[in-house]
Structure 1
Amino acid sequence: MNTQENIIPGKTIAVVSYLTFIGALIALFMHKDNPTKFGGFHLRQAIGIHLLQLSLAFVIGWFDSLLIFSAFWVFIVVLWAFGFIGAAQGKYQEIPVLGPLFQKWFSIIVPTN
């Protein structure tokens, strides 16, 4: 199932989706033109990470604590790096804890093939 023939066409979409929120939108349009299972998997993961970052940044912004702010960014960078490295290596690798939820929640936006 995870053969190179299935992964290579979606690898560009997967990597671009992690770059920024704008990158995820670009990858979404790329995926609409050429849907692949690998690209869709990582697109759902990346959209989840980007939306988590935006929503938590709004909440964390109310706190005046460098410790909370730093911990938040370390958490987001670790999730992002985990997903980005998995996409670059051609692996179906869900981010810890939230990955299965992102796959379920965002299957409406990016349907599974």
Structure 2
Amino acid sequence: MGDKMIENQTVNEGKTNAIISYLTIIGTIVAYILNNSKKNSFVSFHIRQMIGLCIIQLLNSWIIQKYVSSVAAGIIGVALVILWIIGFMGAIKGEEKKIPIFGDQFQEWFKNI
């Protein structure tokens, strides 16, 4: 029971910053800066998810759209919006819900955040 209370406190303290992290790359940067002084594992989790989504979006617009096709980039863009919604809803609900396909990789790649 004690661990559950600590976990709920961590989520409650970090929920706003976790939500902010999903509001564009600017929101991710703001959430990162706010989370830097007093690390909150819940916020860090969602920042890692959003950084990963931002990187894929950049690669999609820089590489896929330019060198493959706009149609492929559009399909990937729609998939990224769906993944973003899943992550955003997890932050709103207070859940550490990994986005499908890439969530585990994002947590591993950005584990120092």
Q: Shorter chain as normaliser: what TM range?
A: 0.7 to 0.9
Give the alignment partner of residue 49 of structure 1, picking from 39, 49, 53.
53
Q: TM-score, length-normalised on structure 1?
A: 0.87
RMSD between aligned residues: 1.6
Gaps (5+ residues) in structure 2? none
* Cα distance, 1:71–1:13 mapped onto 2, change above 3 Å: same
User: After the TM superposition, which parts of structure 1 deviate over 2 Å for at least 4 consecutive aligned residues?
Assistant: 1-4, 63-67
What residue in structure 2 maps to residue 23 of structure 1? Answer: 27
**Of the candidates 69, 73, 87, which is equivalent to residue 69 of structure 1?**
73
In percent, how many aligned pairs have the same letter?
Answer: 35
2:43 maps to 1:39: yes
Contact 2:64 2:70 in 1 (8 A): no
Structure 1 CA distance, aligned partners of 2:73 and 2:41? 35
Cα deviation, 1:64-99, whole Å, max 9, x if unaligned, reads 745323202111101110100000110010001210
CA distance in 2, matches of 1:65, 1:29: 36
Q: How many residues align?
A: 109
2: CA distance, partners of 1:37 / 1:13:
11
TM-score, structure 2 normalization: 0.87
In structure 1, runs of 5+ residues without a counterpart are none
**CA distance in structure 2 between the partners assigned to 1:44 and 1:32 by the alignment:** 13
